[in-house]
């Protein structure tokens, strides 16, 4: 999944060990809707964290909730089950690691000096490949949304 790999590499910083840990904040007496969402979110987060562990080098602990919105330290899933998938989890983890939200990200966008992500992208798309930035996102292959990636 090229799009996931690029986001993981772009979001990563140099540390000795990769470890994304997470906790799902659950209601004490969940409704049937919440139970269904929790099951889907847990599977989604396990897949995203496993992929990140294979390729990323960043460490972060995140709290996951079943509610819409959020760019703080809390990763939230809304009610649309279509977005309870690995791509969305990786996208939101990338934001938690600073993609689109930090001075370091803005500097990388300005300089184009992506030391790990750009060589990876060029290995897939050739020497003319480049990473573009706008707002809080990167492209190509930036797991922004199913529609943005033709999926």
Domain ranges of the chain: 2-139
Q: Tokens for 94? A: 């990338």
Q: 119 or 143, which is more confident?
A: 119
CA dist 73 → 24, 62, 63, 133, 150 (Å) = 13, 6, 7, 22, 29
Burial, 139: exposed, middle or buried (Cβ in 10 Å; 0-12, 13-18, 19+)?
middle
- Cα–Cα distance for residue pair 133/2, rounded to 1 Å: 17
Global confidence as pTM: 0.53
- Cα–Cα distance for residue pair 94/82, rounded to 1 Å: 19
**pLDDT tops 50 at residue 15:** no
**pLDDT tops 90 at residue 43:** yes
For the ranges 11-15, 103-107, 122-126, the lowest mean pLDDT is seen at 11-15
Confidence (pLDDT) at 86? 86
Q: What is the rounded end-to-end Cα distance, in angstroms, of the chain?
A: 12
Residues above pLDDT 90, as percent of the chain? 19
CB count within 10 Å of CB 39 equals 11
**pLDDT tops 60 at residue 9:** no
pLDDT tier, 124 (very low <50, low <70, confident <90, very high otherwise): confident
């Amino acid at each position: 999944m090229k799009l996931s790999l690029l986001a993981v590499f772009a979001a990563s910083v140099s540390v000795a060990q990769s470890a994304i840990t997470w906790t799902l904040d659950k209601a004490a007496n969940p409704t049937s809707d919440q139970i269904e969402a929790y099951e889907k979110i847990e599977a989604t987060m396990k897949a995203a964290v496993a992929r990140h562990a294979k390729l990323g080098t960043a460490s972060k602990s995140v709290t996951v909730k079943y509610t819409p919105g959020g760019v703080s330290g809390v990763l939230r899933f809304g009610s649309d089950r279509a977005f309870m998938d690995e791509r969305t989890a990786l996208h939101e983890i990338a934001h938690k690691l600073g993609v689109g939200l930090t001075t370091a990200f803005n500097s990388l966008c300005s300089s184009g000096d992506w030391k790990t992500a750009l060589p990876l992208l060029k290995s897939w798309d050739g020497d003319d490949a480049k990473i573009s930035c706008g707002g809080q996102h990167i492209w190509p292959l930036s797991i922004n949304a199913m529609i943005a990636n033709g999926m």
